[in-house]
Amino acid sequence: MPKEKILVTCALPYANGPLHAGHIRSTYLPADIYVRYLRMNGKDVAFICGSDEHGTPITLTAEKEKTTPLEVATKYHKIMKQELKDLEIDFDIFSRTSTKLNHKNAQEFFLEAHKKGYIYAQDVDQYYCNTNKRFLPDRYVEGNCPNCGFEGARGDHCEKCAQALRTLDNPHCIICGSIPELKSTKHWFFKLTVFKEQLKKFLSRKELPTNVKNYALSWTENLQNWCITRDLEWGVKVPLPEAENKVLYVWWDAPIGYISATQEWDKKNGLSYWKNGNIIHFIGKDIIYHHALFWPAMLIAHGKYKLPYTIIAGEYLTLEKEKMSTSRGWVVWVSDFLKKYPADYLRYYLTITSPLATDMDFSWKEFEARINNELSDVLGNFVHRTLTFIQRFFYKTIPKPRKLDEKDKKIFAKIAETQKIVAQKIEEFNFLEGLKAIMELARAGNVYFNEKEPWKNKETQATTIYVTANLVHAIAILLLPFLPETALKIHSQLGHKGAFDELKWECAKEKVKAGQKIALHIKPIIQKIEIKST
Ligand SMILES: [Zn+2]
Ligand SMILES: [Zn+2]
């Protein structure tokens, strides 16, 4: 774990629709777990995100809905911000790339690179629709991917092979369906190719995970200079007098949005994270290309900020073994999910099921089984039986222990050991194994409770319950980064008073005080669920 200031960013969600479980699983949830853990350890961390608001999908939606791109972006900015909040993704700021500050920064990045000779103008052939009398940038044209043959590839990007594209086979205009012609227009290019060796050096960083490294390295031999302007009105104006009616490509200003948002969050010290901090980007694997190649090259060209410390890329989520599709509605929308279940159920299921660097399948039956058989039967049950025992037999007061025997001591040793394991796993971005270790601790608690039979053994009863109360307390601390709402519920039922942000990672080792009153009302913290098959 880096020692200095830490800046954690999440890929900026595109403001053209609400969020689904795939977004949450690949990017926002792992980043949030990591940041909560850092904060509990007293780290100086900034957690930055915002909505990505330029580019052609938004202008297309605006045209379809007879409104403006700004209105489309504003609508989804608000929706996504609320959804992330409801999922307890706790950003320091959730900004937008359409702010004045971001426009200014994106232009400054352009001018700096231009001044240093990393940007040049060139006349290029672009798709032009004769019916609509306009150029067709990016999403305005569809066709077959020349790289993998995929039939629904867009002008700038193939969804299937995740490559940035410049031309398509069998192109057609998305507005009128006609076959566009190629027409000459002037555009500006970023000399990505001159950064080849520096990018290779960057990609050799030991902190970069294999899935990011391998994917990006495979492209370093085929780098192409990158067209960074578009014939479009919506976006950041190209800051050159001869570039009227052109805007910067959305992938130029989007990552700069990380910097702008940090500045907006802390006007005085925000940029110090970019100059002296360690920068960690959480992204989905479909945008490794942009974050591990374009973005570091832009940073090198600009020269004032540090390169990423690492880039964590979560892989895809399928639904019942089928590729998710927002247009077909084959998707788990965050807002639909939250109408039925608590946020922590999604956080639990998405973390415990598959490692972040592999694809995961979302299955409603498996979701039900994991919530009922694991979260409820193992963790919820252990917490509840301990608390109800204190309520019934010890006047709602944590009892005073007598002499600890070997089994009691083993539980305290297991708490200390688990705390170390969970910390290590989170620092390795292995959130699955971290959460599993906590579940193991709860399982050990149930075994201990059964073996000790406190309902029978009056002599050791107080000691046993004192030990299980400590275990409940430790579980609640360790669980906080993963399932914040559940962890806080356990804390208040255990009688914790004072601000919850005082809860530090080290508290897991602290003993609870005998004599401490637990809450008046003890309720099961996890409710079982039933998924109706359709
Ligand atoms: Zn392709
Ligand atoms: Zn057309």
CA of 154 to the centre of ligand 2 (A): 15
The Cα 436–Cα 425 span in angstroms is 10
The sign of the dihedral angle between the CA atoms of 130, 136, 139, 145 is positive
Ligand nearest to the CA of 176: 2
The Cα 481–Cα 313 span in angstroms is 19
CA of 100 to the centre of ligand 2 (A): 32
Q: Which two tokens stand for residue 188?
A: 């500006």
**pLDDT at residue 534 above 80?**
no
CA of 176 to the centre of ligand 2 (A): 4
Q: Which of 219-223, 238-242, 437-441 has the lowest mean pLDDT?
A: 219-223
Q: What is the mean pLDDT of residues 70-99?
A: 98
Ligand nearest to the CA of 171: 2
CA of 245 to the centre of ligand 2 (A): 19
Confidence of residue 290 (pLDDT cuts 50, 70, 90): very high
Judge whether 381 and 444 are in contact, CB under 8 Å. Answer: no
Confidence of residue 162 (pLDDT cuts 50, 70, 90): confident
The sign of the dihedral angle between the CA atoms of 418, 424, 427, 429 is negative
The sign of the dihedral angle between the CA atoms of 359, 363, 364, 370 is negative
3-class DSSP assignment, residue 111:
helix
Judge whether 12 and 257 are in contact, CB under 8 Å. Answer: yes
Ligand nearest to the CA of 151: 1
CA distances in angstroms from 158 to 148, 173, 310, 379, 417, listed in the order given: 9, 16, 25, 43, 46
The Cα 185–Cα 203 span in angstroms is 35
Confidence of residue 496 (pLDDT cuts 50, 70, 90): confident
CATH number for domain 6-117+252-340, candidates 2.40.30.110, 3.40.50.620, 3.40.50.11540, 3.10.350.10: 3.40.50.620
State what percent of residues in the chain have pLDDT above 70.
99
Q: What is the mean pLDDT of residues 400-419?
A: 97
CATH of domain 368-509: 1.10.730.10
Ligand nearest to the CA of 157: 1
3-class DSSP assignment, residue 165:
coil
Q: Is 158 annotated as a binding residue?
A: yes
Confidence of residue 533 (pLDDT cuts 50, 70, 90): low
Q: How far is CA 21 from the centre of its chain?
A: 11
Ligand nearest to the CA of 179: 2
Ligand nearest to the CA of 63: 2
CA of 249 to the centre of ligand 1 (A): 20
Q: Is 193 annotated as a binding residue?
A: no
Provide the residue type at 200 as one letter. K
CA of 483 to the centre of ligand 2 (A): 49
Q: What is the mean pLDDT of residues 339-360?
A: 97
Ligand nearest to the CA of 153: 1
Q: Is 176 annotated as a binding residue?
A: no
Ligand nearest to the CA of 148: 1
Sort 357 into a burial class: Cβ within 10 Å, 0-12 / 13-18 / 19+: middle
The Cα 229–Cα 326 span in angstroms is 28
Contacts (Cβ under 8 Å, ≥6 apart) of 88: 32, 343, 344, 347, 484, 485
Q: Which helix (H) or strand (E) holds 142?
A: strand 141-144
In 327-386, which ranges are E strands?
360-362
Q: What is the pLDDT of residue 98?
A: 98
- In the sheet that 360-362 helps form, which strands lie side by side, from edge to edge? 322-323, 317-319, 360-362
Q: What is the mean pLDDT of residues 134-142?
A: 91
CA of 313 to the centre of ligand 1 (A): 20
CA of 219 to the centre of ligand 1 (A): 14
pLDDT digits (tens, 9 = 90+) for 192-230: 999 999 999 999 999 999 999 999 999 999 999 999 999
Provide the residue type at 446 as one letter. N
Provide the residue type at 524 as one letter. P
CA of 164 to the centre of ligand 1 (A): 9
CA of 158 to the centre of ligand 1 (A): 5
Pairing of strands 278-284, 310-314: parallel
117: left (phi over 0), alpha (psi -120 to 50) or beta: left
Ligand nearest to the CA of 180: 2
Residue of 498 and 433 predicted with greater confidence: 433
**pLDDT at residue 470 above 80?**
yes
3-class DSSP assignment, residue 282:
strand
Provide the residue type at 220 as one letter. T
Q: What is the mean pLDDT of residues 465-469?
A: 98
The position carrying tokens 């609508």 is: 75
CA of 170 to the centre of ligand 2 (A): 14
Q: Is 10 annotated as a binding residue?
A: no
CA of 174 to the centre of ligand 2 (A): 7
CA of 134 to the centre of ligand 2 (A): 8
Q: What is the mean pLDDT of the chain?
A: 95
CA of 143 to the centre of ligand 2 (A): 14
CA of 400 to the centre of ligand 1 (A): 66
Q: What is the mean pLDDT of residues 302-310?
A: 98
Task: List the domain boundaries for the chain.
Answer: 6-117+252-340, 368-509
CA of 320 to the centre of ligand 1 (A): 24
Q: Which of 2-6, 171-175, 201-205, 519-523 has the lowest mean pLDDT?
A: 2-6
Q: Is 326 annotated as a binding residue?
A: yes
Q: What is the pLDDT of residue 358?
A: 95
Whole-complex ipTM:
0.91
Ligand nearest to the CA of 128: 2
CA of 296 to the centre of ligand 2 (A): 36
CA of 142 to the centre of ligand 1 (A): 12
3-class DSSP assignment, residue 283:
strand
Closest alpha carbon to 467 in 519, 524, 389: 389
CA of 193 to the centre of ligand 1 (A): 21
CA of 177 to the centre of ligand 2 (A): 6
Contacts (Cβ under 8 Å, ≥6 apart) of 294: 192, 226, 251, 255
Q: What is the mean pLDDT of residues 256-277?
A: 97
CB burial of 59-88 (b: ≥16 within 10 Å; e: otherwise) equals bbbbbeeeeebeebbbbbbebbbebbeebb
Q: What is the mean pLDDT of residues 456-476?
A: 97
**pLDDT at residue 293 above 90?**
yes
Ligand nearest to the CA of 181: 2
